[in-house]
Amino acid sequence: MLTTHPFDDDKLREECGVFGILGPQDAAALAALGLHALQHRGQEAAGIVSFDGDFHAHRSMGQVGDIFGSEQVMRTLKGDAAIGHVRYATTGETALRNVQPLYAEFEFGGFAVAHNGNLTNALQLRRQLVRRGCLFQSTTDTEVIIHLMATSRGGSVIDRLVEAVRQVEGAYSLVCLAKDMVIGVRDPLGVRPLVLGMLGDAPVLASETVALDIIGADFVRDIEPGEMVVLDKKNGVTSLRPFTPQGTRFCVFEFIYFARPDSFVEGHSVYDVRKKIGAELARESHVDADLIIPVPDSGVPAALGYAEESRIPFDLGIIRNHYVGRTFIQPTDKIRHLGVKLKHNANRHFIEGKRVVLVDDSIVRGTTSVKIVEMMRQAGAKEVHMRISSPPTNNSCFYGIDTPEKEKLLAHKNTVEQMREYIKADSLAFISLDGLYKALGHAKRDGDIPQYCDACFTGDYPIALTDYDAGRAEVSYLAERRA
């Protein structure tokens, strides 16, 4: 059984990744390669649905290489159109019935959908649909879209999908497969990413450009916020605008942590942005030191930027063991106590007697930071300073990133100094919000009209939290009744 890695519970969890392609005879094989490039966005499960006149599907728990590495499996996924999904659960249990793409038979034929993100009014819509007689087969919010399409009065698949997405709230990118057609949709604010590429004459949709790179496709453009694109053999790529235009609020954490560093996101090289964040962090919080050490792997580009700006040598003072996966099975208490050493080990030769600056992308609960700082002390570091390439994470995300409840976030209940004391570092500093925006090419965060979704830092949620607010109201009502 797949289990959460016991020594990796102090990161914001990945979201999901989606991929779609129309045209090549080996569409499913190309989809599997694309999903492999998107594996960092979800490691719990993966699935592909293909079309050759009939629909074919294979979904399983586990990672892409294990699921689609078999010729026997790939031979079943026939056709020149396919969509795929890698999953990290943000809604719904970790179970096979929730593995995407989800598939349903409609009056117009088969339809499959894969979803990255989170619908913030899914529970409300689900209750309405159940009252109308809909029978849900999963606990994921994505199935709401299928039932909204089923109950739509629209005729075509496009009409039904437009009617469905106009009723949902949240942050999402969708790739869908219908007869001879692949469809992509991005939420009105563009919180979640989706890109368009071309493999020869074949259009491709993916969460990140790295999925285009792995199959040799050329990047064309980002799907725009609120845009629906229809890929079909007759008309090529058709753009529709089912929503009223709104401002853009792309998730800023894609730049900090989620996207692969070799991706291009919203016109920016992720690697370059992370180095700029590190440089800005060095300007804001310089400290005299002998060595800059990244917390691998996500802290590496920011640490390089920090080292270049501060002119302090960069070195790999922590070596990561890449063979400890998220499926580590039930360690004993003694092994669990060893904690971070199963995944990271100090490079003592470079650390002993040195004043070191550790650069990481975030602090969530703080448990890993405690262990990393302690590891540096045990390796003989003279001083240990921690620098974080994001502002303090003090609010939960409701838009497709699995974060702990607000009360479990270290920054929510502690000042920076209290956090420093907790992790036992000699100093601790986070990049400022304005510094983060500056690294992204803006003078600063523009007060009332931020350019990105930064709710995890500010609590400024750009999309209504309908289900969450209703749940809070219900709890308050019940408490009053009991009183």
d(CA 110, CA 145): 14
Strand-pairing partners, residue 218, are: 198
Q: Which residues contact 200 (CB under 8 A, 6 or more apart)?
A: 23
Q: First and final CA of the chain: distance in angstroms?
A: 44
Alpha helix locations (H) across 77-134?
A: 122-131
Structure tokens at 437: 């925006």
The CA-atom distances, in angstroms, between 326 and each of 69, 129, 294, 410, 470 are: 19, 36, 21, 23, 34
Q: Which residues contact 1 (CB under 8 A, 6 or more apart)?
A: none
Secondary structure class of 2 (helix, strand, coil): coil
Strand-pairing partners, residue 24, are: none
Secondary-structure breakdown of the chain: helix, strand, coil percentages, each rounded to the nearest 5:
35, 25, 40
| 16 in catalytic set | yes
If one counts every other C-beta atom within 10 angstroms of the C-beta of residue 441, the result is 11
Peptide bond into 101 cis (omega under 30): yes
Residue with tokens 């109201």: 473
Residue among 396, 448, 15 at smallest CA distance from 249? 448
d(CA 436, CA 447): 14
Residue 163 buriedness (CB in 10 A; 0-12 / 13-18 / 19+): middle
Residue among 285, 300, 281 at smallest CA distance from 436? 281
d(CA 383, CA 358): 10
If one counts every other C-beta atom within 10 angstroms of the C-beta of residue 129, the result is 19
d(CA 106, CA 43): 30
Q: Which amino acid is at 422?
A: Y
Q: Which of 16, 251, 397, 456 is catalytic?
A: 16
Report the half-sphere exposure of 301 (CA within 13 A, side-chain side): 18
Report the half-sphere exposure of 386 (CA within 13 A, side-chain side): 31
The residue ranges of DSSP E strands in 71-217, in sequence order, are 81-87, 102-106, 109-119, 170-178, 181-186, 195-199, 202-206
Residue among 313, 382, 320, 319 at smallest CA distance from 352? 382
If one counts every other C-beta atom within 10 angstroms of the C-beta of residue 81, the result is 27
- Catalytic annotation, residues: 16
